[in-house]
Amino acid sequence: MSEDPTLFDIIGSTRAMRRLKPDPVPDELVAKIIEAGVCAPSGANSQTWRFLVVKSPEIKRAVHAYYKRAFDELVGPHYAKSKPPPGVTPEAYARQHAAVEHLTEHFHEAPVWIVPCLLNRGSAEPKRWDGASIYPAVQNMLLAARALGLGATLTTRHLMFERETEALFGLPPGVHSYAIIPVGYPLGNYGPVKRAPISEVTYLDRWEQPFVRPS
């Protein structure tokens, strides 16, 4: 990678950084990450996103209890019986599992959490398409954290106990969280990411009709 990374360098090396130092992250960097988030598109440019910055050790510990419970009851058993995903060797998958366990145990020690939320626009419950108005912002924030030399990851595990964790965050009626992004200085190294080649996941015009990349 060059000294001045391009956008594609950053995209290709933005791994899920699950091992983070507890050292404080300056508010100015947190603000830059959120500024990158609000540059993202949203449905009708409605910008109904809200971002909760969580630093309180008490709140983080309380949410962590549910996060750990979700691992013990569902996520951990899933990893134990699952095969490696496309593009990932068994050895790399074992390292990923170890990193997930590390995050589970130390989730509350990340110095900053950013919780991306959406205001309810009238429907009783969030709809499938609502994610289009928040997850682009999440990806922007992950890329911004990488560009700033910080580690971050997208996790939604707290939503297995959505009612309890959103109450701990003090979210009012009509506001829902869509992820937690723990942010800190990384203990590990960036990228490259491991994924299946696009030839295995891309079609042309009709399902399973190959899209052939020019040679």
Lowest mean pLDDT among 18-22, 76-80, 182-186: 76-80
Which comes out higher in pLDDT, residue 111 or 95?
A: 111
**87 part of a folded domain:** yes
Measured in whole angstroms, how far is the alpha carbon of residue 119 from the centre of its chain?
Answer: 19
The alpha carbons of the chain give a radius of gyration, in whole angstroms, of 18
- Residue scoring higher pLDDT (183 or 4): 183
Question: Which three-class secondary structure state does DSSP give residue 111?
Answer: coil
Is 211 a member of any domain? no
What is the pLDDT at residue 191?
78
Q: What is the pTM of this model?
A: 0.92
Lowest mean pLDDT: which of 75-84, 122-131, 158-167? 122-131
Question: In which domain, by residue range, is 181 found?
Answer: 7-200
Lowest mean pLDDT segment, chosen from 112-116, 117-121, 197-201: 117-121
The whole-number average pLDDT for the span 98-120 is: 95
Domain total for the chain? Answer: 1
pLDDT tens-digit map of 123-158 = 566 677 889 999 999 999 999 999 999 999 999 999
212 is a domain residue: no
Q: Which residue has the tokens 């009509």?
A: 174
Mean pLDDT for all residues in the chain: 92
What are 65's strand-pairing partners?
none
d(CA 128, CA 154): 18
CA distances to 20, 70, 100, 141 from 187, rounded to whole Å, are 5, 24, 14, 19
Is 215 inside any structural domain? no
Residue 20, classed as helix, strand or coil, is: strand
Q: According to the model, what pLDDT value does residue 81 have?
A: 84
Q: Does 52 fall in a domain?
A: yes
Q: CA-CA distances (angstroms) from residue 97 to 64, 102, 106?
A: 18, 9, 14
**What does the pLDDT average to over 201-209?**
96
Residue 206 lies in a domain: no
Mean pLDDT over residues 43-63, rounded? Answer: 97
Instruction: Look up the CATH number of the domain holding residue 28.
Output: 3.40.109.10
The tokens describing 203, both together, are 């079609």
Give residue 5's pLDDT. 78
Residue 24 lies in a domain: yes
> Could you please report the per-residue DSSP string of 144-210?
HHHHTT-EE--B-GGGGGHHHHHHHTTPPTTEEE--BEEEE-BSS---------GGGT-BSSSTTPB
Domain contains 207: no
Rounded Cα distance, 12 and 192, in Å: 6
Q: State residue 123's pLDDT score.
A: 58
Rounded to whole angstroms, how far apart are CA atoms 99 and 34?
25
- Alpha carbons within 13 angstroms on the beta-carbon side of residue 203 total 5
Say whether 117 sits in a helix, a strand or coil. Answer: strand
